[in-house]
Structure 1
Amino acid sequence: MASAISAGPTPPAAAPSSVEWHQRPPNPKNPVVFFDVTIGSIPAGRIKMELFADVVPKTAENFRQFCTGEYRKSAIPQGYKGCQFHRVIKDFMIQGGDFVKGDGSGCISIYGTKFDDENFIAKHTGPGLLSMANSGANSNGSQFFLTCAKCEWLDNKHVVFGRVLGDGLLVLRKIENVATGPNNRPKLACVISECGEISVTIVSGKERLHIQESSGHLSHDGDRGVAMLERWRDVCA
């Protein structure tokens, strides 16, 4: 990823899609991950995202492991916790994921430095889609962006691999509306304060909610778990 400008999508050309990927019914077998976001150190809310593991399993797994902290270097978790959204363009997208250098020039993946474009089946059909930032063909790493609108000119150039669920879109809008300075960097730090994976399993005939945070903390059951399970059902309904 060459620079803070070239390491991501560039604004417009066209190619319509028959599937509205931002409104696609959730696949309960797909992973659901989350970002807790602060703006200027003030909590802004949680973004929950379904990863399209049924369409792009390799790309989805790369992102999932950076959410949970499962990927490690020298026994140290590598991932999105503490990472900033370093590039925000209103009515277009918000970009983050450079926990290596923080400015859009860093590149790392769970497969090495970079990995190839998996496929371009999913399209940029509307707001809230999760897509890989890159510096050209087959240069995917940890950087990603979330769309704020339909961006069809990015189809077949950037790999779409997930979407925002439920009211997470409101948090995206908060970030989108933060004032920016040079290189479209937000003037208030927009930080992923916590991240992880949310999953539901069946144990002895009962559903159990699991929240795997990047710190390695696993919570389940209890009032908090039940409440979050209900929210998870609402989001995926």
Structure 2
Amino acid sequence: LVIGSMIGAGIFNLVRNTAESAGPLATIIAWLVTGVGMVFLVLSFRNLAEKRPDLDAGIYSYAEAGFGKYVGFNSAWGYWISAWIGNIAYAVTAFSALGYFFPQLFADGQNWASVIGMSILLWGVHCLILRGVRTASVVNLLITIAKIVPLIIFLVAIIAAFKLDIFSKDLWGLAGSNLSLDVVLRQIKDMMIVTVWVFIGIEGAVVFSGRAKQRSDVVKATFIGFAAVLALYVLMTVLAFGVATQPELAGLKDPAMAL
């Protein structure tokens, strides 16, 4: 659940977004900083789960307990809106990928054929979920597998194609500029906008904590999911610099994983 929540449409363009923001070394630093920050967030979830086991309605229950019903309501409402907007983003990316193979039909994933296809897909998944929690769990598992399999294939491909001379050509992403602290910090800052964004969904296990057999399962699921996704993100974005130069990666079209 945690892995499926975190891996969204953005990961399929993560290589390009990374290259647009930073060079290889700045990317590694940004992932380290973000990783440490997310570990503290996971520890916060663990602390809340242990101290307030009665709050089992998700992260918005924490907002309600801390700041009142009005803030809790807005937190839940905002979370719901972000969820369905995320589905739209994922659908656009999916049909953009189909457009790579069927350009005359789906183009860039933003034509009427894509809209109709997206609607059928989203409503189909919605109808399956309405059949019950068990069906929803199966659907979530299948979707998660559908996300992870191409990512693993992509990772294996870039490992096989990795060349050290390409990776080390411009480690700081200077493109001819002089190395300075300001340049490096700007790259790290720009990259962290990307790295923090892709961890949205890390609260997935907390949202359904009320259905967990043990509260400790929520913490374990969050830690394991976070570690797995972090490793996948880091390997994909860093190793890609050994397959193509930073300008080439930054110039990739949607979906960037078509690299």
| TM-score normalised to structure 2 length | 0.22
More strand by share: 1
Rg larger for: 2
| TM-score normalised to structure 1 length | 0.24
